[in-house]
A and B are shown apart, each in its own frame.
Chain A
Amino acid sequence: MKNHIVKLLLLLIILPWFGCVDDIDLVLPKDRTDGVVIEGRLIESENSFVEVYVTKVFDFTTDSRVPVRTNSVTLIDEEGTRMELRMAAQGYFTAALDENSPIQAKVGQSYKIEVVIFGGRTYESDFDIITESVAPDEVYFQTVKQIIQERDGDYREVERLQLTADLPLDNTLSDGLLWEVMSTYKITDTPSDGTPSKVCYIDRNVSRNEVTYFNLAESEASYLSEWPLAVVTPDHTFNEGIFFSVSQYALSEAATRYWSQINTIKNYSGNLFDDPLGLVSSNITQTKGETDLDIFGYFYTASEQLVRIKADPELVPDRDPYCPAPRMVMRPCMQERVCCDCLSENNSTTEKPNFWIE
């Protein structure tokens, strides 16, 4: 009897206690209205440009984002000069801002956009001013350790590469900094059909769906050391060389607030202490037409400081030179994990980028 009591006690004590996370289906409100998203930015750099996307809100009832039928997208500077953007694809408008264009991108100048969609509904953004920042002193790799959970539920510590920056800060120049990291890697394929092999250069958005930003207005620091820009998993993309392009964007006060809100959303984990989330603010308002559509999105300007760093293949062990198999060719492309056609990868080109140095 005594043994039973001891066992019962042990059982009661050691049963696990932890919170749980499960999938859930929410009943969405029935009276939701359609929404239009206008997302745009003007980047001041060596190759200044402006780009604007006009799409529908993705409401989970369709499988893809739908471009909105758009009549025109116009860039307007603070002097009232207007410049219409060309439609590069359905719902996507862009223009280079060089010395030949009616509007040039200049630090200290403000810009806004006007968008006219079907039915004459017209939307206009607030003006946003281009601010500037000091370029990073150094961008380099650090090895960091992360704990991951295996499929069997166990936890394991792994090594990752962290792209890191040291940079001076000056909050008199701008209110916030935003970083984006793109990678370009080289890969040589081995076609299974006997055609000659070729070399491809493939672009990837490393910081896709990640927000790396720093609010200068909330800090009195004058230098940022070991600032983490992105964590990358060493893989086959490192085999033949990879460049990382770090774009540092200087933001205005309003744009800093916008990215701060997005950063809050990205960090939301749903625990007891998180602030409830809300609608990310928009600086786009409707000026004409029927007001039957909700409007979302933001237009901001930024100046860019671009830094490129090449990763040494020695940083990582050799990996399989895998790339998507053309037409699902199983053997040898998929089964042996070799790259049969490097152009089958998205954003792939055989044209060597001008910054590429072997």
Chain B
Amino acid sequence: MMNKILSICALILYWGATLHAQNNVSLNLAGEESLARAMDKLDEATPFTIFHNIDATYPYQGPSTIDDLPLADALEQMLAKSRYGFIPYRGYAWSIVEKEILEKSYSKNYYEILSGSEEEDENTIAIGDIGSLSASGIASINGVITDEQTGEAVIGATVSIGDIGTTTDIDGRYELQVPSGSYDMVVAFIGYQDVLKSVEVKGNGSLDLPMPKSAIELETVTISGRSADANLESVEIGVQTLSVKTIEKLPTFMGEVDVVKSFLLQPGVSSIGEGSSGINVRGGNVDQNLIMQDESFIFNASHALGFFSTFNSNLISSVNLYKANIPAQYGGRLVSVMEVNMRDGNFQKFKIKGGLGPISSKVSLEGPIIKDKVSFIGGFRSSYSDWLLQAMPQPELKNSSSFFYDANLKLTIKPNAKHNLSMSAYSSQDDFVYNDDFGFDYTTKMAEFSYGLIIGKNITSKLSGAISQYESAQKEFRGVDAARIRTGVDYIKLKENIKYVPSEGTEINVGGSIVQYDILPGDREPIGDASLVSSKTLENEKGREMAVYANAKLQLTDGLDISAGVRVPYFQQLGPKTEYQYSDETRPTVDGIIGTELKDGTLATYSFIEPRGSARLKLTEESSLKAGYSRTSQFINQIFNADSPTPTSQWQLSNRYIKPPRSHNASFGYFRNFDDNLWETSIEVYGREIDQLFDFKDFPSLLVNEHIETELLEGEGRSYGAELSIKKSKGKINGWLSYTYSKTERKIEGINKGNWYPSSFDKRHDVSLLFNYNPNQRNTLTCNLNFSTGRPTTAPVGSYNSVNGVFIPVFSERNALRIPNYMRLDLSYTLGNGYKVNQKFKTSWTIAVYNVLGRRNPYSIFYERATFDRFDTKKFSVVGSAFPSITINFELL
């Protein structure tokens, strides 16, 4: 093989020499010590261009004079004793390249191109030019893969040039490092026709390619959004990705597609029950998850007090959950990051999508404003659940109402391949009234922009900004306590990320971000004339969270990839603010207040160094080991004393007394695929230690409390566990089975005598089964089963009477008991769109039954006084029966 290459080289060099024979050169190189300078002199002495990248210190070891020699002969003599060789390029240039590369890396095609001997083919796409080619002969090719019809980025498409391949990122971008030469380029993705192109790689360059949809309708296909062996190949550990199409087929409560709750079927993700807002990831608090909608933080991602999420699935492209190692690009939360990526609008044509459900409907419109350049997408979802409440027999439900809406608008401008600007706005509102007695309302308003720029070869920039306002209120309408209590959190965020991809397998991200918070901790206003509640408004709390970070993905050896980075956050609590002073600052109490002081400027600062890293060692083609570690900190926490935060729970910035929680997170996993990646199995173990954590005293006063630190107790936390998963991602029958063992505990002085105790979301065993049956592309039957250990609770274990006869229960130590185990079976059937690609109006139906077994899974435990001074312990189940629903989705092209 080597001989063949050398023969080809010799042949090509001969052709080159022949082409340049009429241009002889004479040169005096006496006393020249540097080969680089000798080449520069040669470049000046001939009409040809000599490309080289020789180190200036490399010695010149050739003859001292060149006397009227053809250029090829001159180069031959000058380079004879060096490690360099030469190759001609199309009769006007010569390139000086290391001999080793000449012998090993360059293909026959390359020499043909360089020598200009190859026939130009009209069907061949030329990429780059020789001027941009590095001395190594490796060219960097990048581009964007888009949907031919919509112009949207295709995420996860496989792009191969010759034997070298990669997948497109979230913006549809790919980047490959290939030796110059002629190749077949293949772009493939499920639901699209393969794109085959002949390309001639001359140097660094770009190639954007649109992908036509396959004859089979895309929407009937489950899009994996990842390559078949991505679980083995990716460096990151603990990343879960769900496609919207998968999410939309899951059986849901009331037919509402719930992006956030869909992750409950994944190992390591749980919640404390129906109606709780948010998710618990590997034993973390709900507020320890960072939920991102593109570049914005979402402080409350739930509608209807936690029954549904705020994301309109029509507008989402993909959802990723980093549950183990948070990349250095993200910070400010201890446990996980959920990226909800919104789609760009269609750049080619207009499209309307919608869905009708039992309690809400949604519609979205998208299309081009300037074809191929500017597009928009907008969506609106609103509830109309009052009819259901009116149908209830209980008068208190008849007198209740529940309403929510959310609206999105996104504008995307792509003037050319180098620039990408998007601007979006989001608004949502919830209003809930129970029996004209009490109620909640909360709103989110948000706007953001993102500007992507290809700065140069292999370097891209992304500048983003967001402004958001979240306000919530809880209301009592009757009696002397009638009042409205508001809290809120506003922020402005700016972030810059520079991505550099110097070579295949290497990616470097550096950047920084700044977030300015303005928080309303509490504002109380009386409602009605009968109210005796006094007005009270707490001072706003301000803080600034800045961070710089860097992260590099490297391929150390064949099979060993690492991702290593560091994030350095710096938090400032800002004034003006009245700060309480305590006799014992380590344990602030109401009785220990010794004074107050109005302070301005910076009141408290915290700065940390947070290393983040993960590594993947590929053991075989079908197995790999992964490990990861991250240090995280959190400067804004939610104050809640219920088992789960409500949308009205106050957000609290770190201050002098409330220190930011910090955690160590470590994971290790073994991944093994079988049968050509048809089956994916994995086992992951994880551990987390939180060295600053707070919990609440018994009977804390949390509302409109100007010295909230007096209600908190500080301690530490830990969680660890193991996750086993087996998944079949293709075929008529597919799905997954996962099992999680986890333990989450806290140790806080003042609670349970300072001993370790389980947190409220400590669920030791959790089993999830998802079963999909796709007899054909159009029909899907989905079944999911979830079983988990009952969560800890604090319940009465005894009682006594006060002197005046009031019955007082004696409660157990905190979380000393467990509610019964949770089990739920759901079913759904989806009749997808028709097979006709060009059909103008399409419909799909999803019929689901939530909690098929009608199991009354307890959410909480309470007691009622019974006869003979005993009490009956009761369980409260949020969903007490099987709950069917029908959802109709339509699409108008």
The answer to whether A153 has its CB under 8 Å from any CB of chain B is yes
Q: When A26-B817, A270-B874, A278-B699 are in contact, do A210 and B642 touch as well, CB less than 8 Å? A: no
Partner of A17, one of B698, B861, B881: B881
Alpha-carbon separation in the docked complex, A41 to B806 (Å): 13
The answer to whether B812 has its CB under 8 Å from any CB of chain A is yes
Most chain A C-beta atoms within 10 Å of own C-beta, residue among B305, B806, B812, B847: B806
Task: Report B-chain residues with C-beta under 8 Å of the C-beta of A298.
Answer: 802
Instruction: Report yes or no: B480 in contact with A26, Cβ–Cβ below 8 A.
Output: no
Alpha-carbon separation in the docked complex, A50 to B395 (Å): 46
| Chain B stretch 518-553: residues in CB contact (< 8 A) with chain A | 530, 532-534
The answer to whether B56 has its CB under 8 Å from any CB of chain A is no
Alpha-carbon separation in the docked complex, A281 to B798 (Å): 15
Instruction: Report yes or no: B530 in contact with A225, Cβ–Cβ below 8 A.
Output: yes
The distance from the CB of A301 to the nearest CB of chain B, in whole angstroms, is: 12
Q: Please name the residue on chain B nearest to A51 by beta carbon.
A: B803
**Tier of interface size on chain B:** 35 or more
Alpha-carbon separation in the docked complex, A13 to B847 (Å): 12
Alpha-carbon separation in the docked complex, A188 to B643 (Å): 54
Alpha-carbon separation in the docked complex, A273 to B807 (Å): 23
Q: Please name the residue on chain B nearest to A157 by beta carbon.
A: B395
The distance from the CB of A195 to the nearest CB of chain B, in whole angstroms, is: 32
The answer to whether B6 has its CB under 8 Å from any CB of chain A is no
Alpha-carbon separation in the docked complex, A65 to B868 (Å): 11
Instruction: Report yes or no: B800 in contact with A297, Cβ–Cβ below 8 A.
Output: yes
The answer to whether B46 has its CB under 8 Å from any CB of chain A is no
Task: Report B-chain residues with C-beta under 8 Å of the C-beta of A180.
Answer: 804
Q: Please name the residue on chain B nearest to A59 by beta carbon.
A: B798
SS class, residues of chain B in contact with chain A: loop
The distance from the CB of B850 to the nearest CB of chain A, in whole angstroms, is: 10
The answer to whether A251 has its CB under 8 Å from any CB of chain B is no
Instruction: Report yes or no: B641 in contact with A296, Cβ–Cβ below 8 A.
Output: no
The answer to whether A274 has its CB under 8 Å from any CB of chain B is yes
Alpha-carbon separation in the docked complex, A64 to B800 (Å): 10
Instruction: Report yes or no: A271 in contact with B860, Cβ–Cβ below 8 A.
Output: yes
Instruction: Report yes or no: B802 in contact with A262, Cβ–Cβ below 8 A.
Output: yes
The answer to whether B90 has its CB under 8 Å from any CB of chain A is no
The distance from the CB of A310 to the nearest CB of chain B, in whole angstroms, is: 23
Instruction: Report yes or no: A22 in contact with B646, Cβ–Cβ below 8 A.
Output: no
Q: Please name the residue on chain A nearest to B273 by beta carbon.
A: A272
Alpha-carbon separation in the docked complex, A227 to B820 (Å): 41
Alpha-carbon separation in the docked complex, A262 to B807 (Å): 9
Task: Report B-chain residues with C-beta under 8 Å of the C-beta of A59.
Answer: 797-798
Task: Report B-chain residues with C-beta under 8 Å of the C-beta of A275.
Answer: 641-642, 699-700
Q: Which of B18-26, B450-458, B738-746, B883-891 contacts A (4 or more CB under 8 A)?
A: B883-891
The distance from the CB of B461 to the nearest CB of chain A, in whole angstroms, is: 45
Partner of B395, one of A20, A63, A147, A266: A147
Q: Please name the residue on chain B nearest to A32 by beta carbon.
A: B797
Task: Report B-chain residues with C-beta under 8 Å of the C-beta of A278.
Answer: 698-699, 794, 811, 814
Instruction: Report yes or no: A20 in contact with B532, Cβ–Cβ below 8 A.
Output: no
Task: Report B-chain residues with C-beta under 8 Å of the C-beta of A260.
Answer: 699
Alpha-carbon separation in the docked complex, A226 to B816 (Å): 42
Q: When A21-B875, A270-B874 are in contact, do A227 and B480 touch as well, CB less than 8 Å? A: yes
Instruction: Report yes or no: A272 in contact with B275, Cβ–Cβ below 8 A.
Output: yes
The distance from the CB of A104 to the nearest CB of chain B, in whole angstroms, is: 20
The distance from the CB of B391 to the nearest CB of chain A, in whole angstroms, is: 7
Task: Report B-chain residues with C-beta under 8 Å of the C-beta of A266.
Answer: 806
The answer to whether B865 has its CB under 8 Å from any CB of chain A is yes
The distance from the CB of B806 to the nearest CB of chain A, in whole angstroms, is: 6
Q: Please name the residue on chain A nearest to B643 by beta carbon.
A: A276
The distance from the CB of A51 to the nearest CB of chain B, in whole angstroms, is: 6
Q: When A19-B879, A24-B820 are in contact, do A9 and B873 touch as well, CB less than 8 Å? A: no
Instruction: Report yes or no: B856 in contact with A276, Cβ–Cβ below 8 A.
Output: no
Alpha-carbon separation in the docked complex, A219 to B479 (Å): 14
Instruction: Report yes or no: B394 in contact with A39, Cβ–Cβ below 8 A.
Output: no
Instruction: Report yes or no: B800 in contact with A55, Cβ–Cβ below 8 A.
Output: yes
Instruction: Report yes or no: A20 in contact with B797, Cβ–Cβ below 8 A.
Output: no
The answer to whether A209 has its CB under 8 Å from any CB of chain B is yes
The answer to whether A328 has its CB under 8 Å from any CB of chain B is no
The answer to whether B51 has its CB under 8 Å from any CB of chain A is no
Most chain B C-beta atoms within 10 Å of own C-beta, residue among A25, A37, A219, A279: A279
Q: Please name the residue on chain A nearest to B812 by beta carbon.
A: A29
Q: When A21-B874, A209-B806 are in contact, do A26 and B861 touch as well, CB less than 8 Å? A: yes
Instruction: Report yes or no: A219 in contact with B805, Cβ–Cβ below 8 A.
Output: no
Alpha-carbon separation in the docked complex, A298 to B808 (Å): 11
Q: When A15-B884, A276-B642 are in contact, do A58 and B800 touch as well, CB less than 8 Å? A: yes
Most chain B C-beta atoms within 10 Å of own C-beta, residue among A18, A28, A272, A275: A272
Partner of B805, one of A27, A153, A208, A220: A208
Alpha-carbon separation in the docked complex, A220 to B358 (Å): 47
| Chain A stretch 89-137: residues in CB contact (< 8 A) with chain B | none
Partner of B806, one of A224, A227, A262: A262
Partner of B698, one of A63, A208, A226, A281: A281
Q: Please name the residue on chain B nearest to A211 by beta carbon.
A: B806
Interface string of B846-886 (1 = CB under 8 A from A): 01000000001011111001001110111111111111111
| Chain B stretch 794-832: residues in CB contact (< 8 A) with chain A | 794-795, 797-814, 816-820
The distance from the CB of A324 to the nearest CB of chain B, in whole angstroms, is: 15
Partner of B646, one of A154, A264, A273, A297: A273
Instruction: Report yes or no: B884 in contact with A12, Cβ–Cβ below 8 A.
Output: yes
Alpha-carbon separation in the docked complex, A58 to B871 (Å): 11
Q: Please name the residue on chain B nearest to A53 by beta carbon.
A: B803
Instruction: Report yes or no: A268 in contact with B862, Cβ–Cβ below 8 A.
Output: yes
The answer to whether A57 has its CB under 8 Å from any CB of chain B is yes
Task: Report A-chain residues with C-beta under 8 Å of the C-beta of B879.
Answer: 17, 19
Interface string of B359-394 (1 = CB under 8 A from A): 000000000000000000000000000001001111
Q: Please name the residue on chain B nearest to A297 by beta carbon.
A: B800
The answer to whether B238 has its CB under 8 Å from any CB of chain A is no
Alpha-carbon separation in the docked complex, A180 to B806 (Å): 10
The answer to whether B283 has its CB under 8 Å from any CB of chain A is no
Instruction: Report yes or no: A19 in contact with B799, Cβ–Cβ below 8 A.
Output: no
The answer to whether B276 has its CB under 8 Å from any CB of chain A is yes
Task: Report B-chain residues with C-beta under 8 Å of the C-beta of A6.
Answer: none
| Chain A stretch 5-53: residues in CB contact (< 8 A) with chain B | 9, 11-29, 32, 35, 37, 39-41, 51-53
| Chain B stretch 257-292: residues in CB contact (< 8 A) with chain A | 275-276
The answer to whether A335 has its CB under 8 Å from any CB of chain B is no
The answer to whether B421 has its CB under 8 Å from any CB of chain A is no
The answer to whether B717 has its CB under 8 Å from any CB of chain A is no
The answer to whether A158 has its CB under 8 Å from any CB of chain B is no
The answer to whether A293 has its CB under 8 Å from any CB of chain B is no
Instruction: Report yes or no: A57 in contact with B799, Cβ–Cβ below 8 A.
Output: yes
Alpha-carbon separation in the docked complex, A51 to B802 (Å): 11
Alpha-carbon separation in the docked complex, A154 to B393 (Å): 8
Task: Report B-chain residues with C-beta under 8 Å of the C-beta of A225.
Answer: 530
Most chain B C-beta atoms within 10 Å of own C-beta, residue among A63, A147, A275, A276: A276
Q: Please name the residue on chain B nearest to A225 by beta carbon.
A: B530
Partner of B810, one of A9, A41, A209, A279: A279
Task: Report B-chain residues with C-beta under 8 Å of the C-beta of A14.
Answer: 391
The answer to whether A265 has its CB under 8 Å from any CB of chain B is yes
Interface string of A168-211 (1 = CB under 8 A from B): 00000000000010000000000000000000000001011111
The distance from the CB of B881 to the nearest CB of chain A, in whole angstroms, is: 7
The distance from the CB of A320 to the nearest CB of chain B, in whole angstroms, is: 22
Enumerate the 6 nearest inter-chain pairs by beta-carbon distance, A residue then B residue, closest first.
A278-B698, A270-B862, A20-B880, A221-B532, A24-B875, A220-B534
Q: What are 18 sample pairs from A and B whose C-beta atoms fall under 8 A apart? A: A9-B886, A12-B886, A16-B392, A19-B880, A24-B819, A147-B395, A207-B804, A209-B865, A224-B480, A265-B809, A270-B860, A271-B876, A272-B859, A278-B699, A279-B810, A281-B698, A296-B800, A297-B800
**Which residues of chain A have a CB within 8 Å of any CB of chain B?**
9, 11-29, 32, 35, 37, 39-41, 51-53, 55, 57-60, 63-65, 147, 153-155, 180, 205, 207-211, 214, 219-221, 224-227, 260-262, 264-266, 268-281, 296-298
Given contacts A15-B881, A65-B869, 6 further A-B contacts (CB under 8 A): A11-B884, A57-B800, A209-B805, A261-B698, A271-B860, A276-B641
